[in-house]
Amino acid sequence: MARITHGIACSHIPALGVASDFDKWEDPYWKPIQEGFAPTQKWEAENLPDVVILVYNDHASAFDMKIIPTFAIGCGESYKPADEGWGPREVPVVEGHPDLAWHIAQSLILDEFDMTIINEMDVDHGLTVPLSMMFGKPAKWPVKVIPLAVNVVTYPPPSGNRCWALGEAIARAVESFDEDLNVQVWGTGGMSHQLQGPRAGLINREWDNMFLDKLSGDTQELRCIPHIEYLRETGSEGIEMVMWLIMRGALGKETRELRRFYHVPASNTAVGHIVLEPVNGEVPPSTTVEGNNAEAQNLID
Amino acid sequence: MTDKNPCENAGGPIDIHAYLGEFDDIPGTRVYTAKRARQGYHLNQFAMSLMKAENRERWKADERAYLDEWPMTEDQKLAVLARDYNRLLDLGGNIYFLAKVFSTDGLSFLQAVSTMTGMSVEDYQAMMIAGGRSPEGVRSIKEHR
């Protein structure tokens, strides 16, 4: 049986990719970030999962304005790094896990999450920067990756509540997969940042740390934050943090924080990072897949 | 498990008009709504085309001629030529698409973003290193907070 072992959240700022690709970590500007992630890299090497479900958003790379899926899951064999206008990053090709990905896609659709299924796409910094932050510069990524892309660019993005519920449905899907696999769920993007208009450069250290605090324990407060609060408090691009809630939802009822790092700035953005472990990984039963279950019926009534 | 919806008391049902209306109350910010997505469709798709190396070459050789291949408004074309990013946001541009234009110019996000703030790149970068722009006073126009 597959199991979710940990959740990780990590900013996916393109400049971090540049720092990694061009070996800038010793530079005084980047050194604190390198030091902040070094213990996690060590921890991650010791707790290496078989598969990472990597929640991210595409930044006008694989998807343009022609097609805007709210939730899309990658079921392909592999994904090349995208050319985002500077030429593709020189990082390894990302290997997928089609068996588990298709299982999750089917489970989610039966669970009434109407996923878009992607078999071929290139992946941009949203997906490859977190891999660099966790694994450095290996010749080959040490895990299989299931990309889960969320629209957080064109309004409205999904609500935080919906993201959390999707995470719970992912947990149910992983648990019903027969193969013995360790799975991590990563939420990426954030934290506070605004990349546009005269208000660009906004950072909200206090709000970001409130958000980090409430990812642990059994509180569900974060799922109820409306979009307007992200926009006002964390800048127009801070909305990416709804993706962290998919990770949090997938960890179940109660979590414990193992590591945290927060730093301002990298380029225009507050760097946030957390490692969470499920304490009680229980998630509510599906109201459809487990429709005859008494608890599920209570939810419907 | 007794909670039906943990957010049902978090502000009541969502009214789409109120939801969209609040976006205009944020100072110095253009939220990328459906209205802007429609207005900027061809502008953003033009920008997107610069992800291909061969298109970048043609664009660099003659920007105006390249723009004229797209059904964009004259205002949009002039704002692209002027690299006036605030104007482009007003005309339906989205920053992740516009990023294809400034990365083709060899600018980083930090350099391009600073041009929208009325600050020099140096001053903008210094503000970021000092902790960024405070949300104090720029959360809401109506509520002055």
Q: Cα B124 to the chain's mean position, in Å?
A: 18
The catalytic residues of A are 125, 193
pLDDT band of residue B4 (cuts 50, 70, 90) is low
Q: Tell me if chain A has a CB within 8 Å of the CB of B43.
A: no
Confidence check on the interface: ipTM exceeds 0.90, yes or no: yes
A25 min Cα distance to partner chain B (Å): 17
**Contact indicator for A85, B98 with CB cutoff of 8 Å:** no
Whole-number pLDDT of residue A40: 97
Contacting residues of B for A231, CB less than 8 Å apart: 23, 26, 29, 31
Structure token pair of residue B94: 């989205």
- The CATH code that applies to domain A3-300 is 3.40.830.10
Summarised one tens digit per residue, pLDDT across range B77-130 is: 999 999 999 999 999 999 999 999 999 999 999 999 999 999 999 999 999 999
Distance separating alpha carbons of residues A89 and A82, to the nearest angstrom:
7
Q: How far is the CA of A201 from the CAs of A38, A144, A239, in angstroms? A: 27, 35, 15
Q: Which residues of A142-166 are buried (b: 16+ CB within 10 A; e: fewer)?
A: ebbbbbbbbbbbbbbbbbbbbbbbb
Report the chain B residue with the minimal C-alpha distance to residue A156.
Answer: B33
Q: Which residues of A22-39 are buried (b: 16+ CB within 10 A; e: fewer)?
A: eebbeeeebeebbebbee
Residue with tokens 């902040």: A36
The class level of CATH for B31-106 reads mainly alpha
Distance separating alpha carbons of residues A156 and A38, to the nearest angstrom:
36
Whole-number pLDDT of residue A83: 87
- pTM higher than 0.90: yes
Q: Has residue B1 got a pLDDT over 50?
A: no
A195 min Cα distance to partner chain B (Å): 6
Residue of B128, B141, B142, B145 for testing the chain A interface, max A β-carbons within 10 Å: B128
B58-69 average pLDDT score: 98
> CB count, 10 Å around CB of A129?
27
**Domain segments of chain B as ranges:** 31-106, 108-145
Residue of B4, B20, B22, B31 for testing the chain A interface, max A β-carbons within 10 Å: B31
pLDDT band of residue B14 (cuts 50, 70, 90) is confident
B129 min Cα distance to partner chain A (Å): 6
Give mean pLDDT in consecutive 10-residue pieces for chain A, a chain of 301 residues.
97 96 97 98 98 97 95 98 88 98 96 97 97 98 98 97 97 96 98 98 98 98 97 98 98 98 97 98 85 58 47
Residue with tokens 């225009």: A268
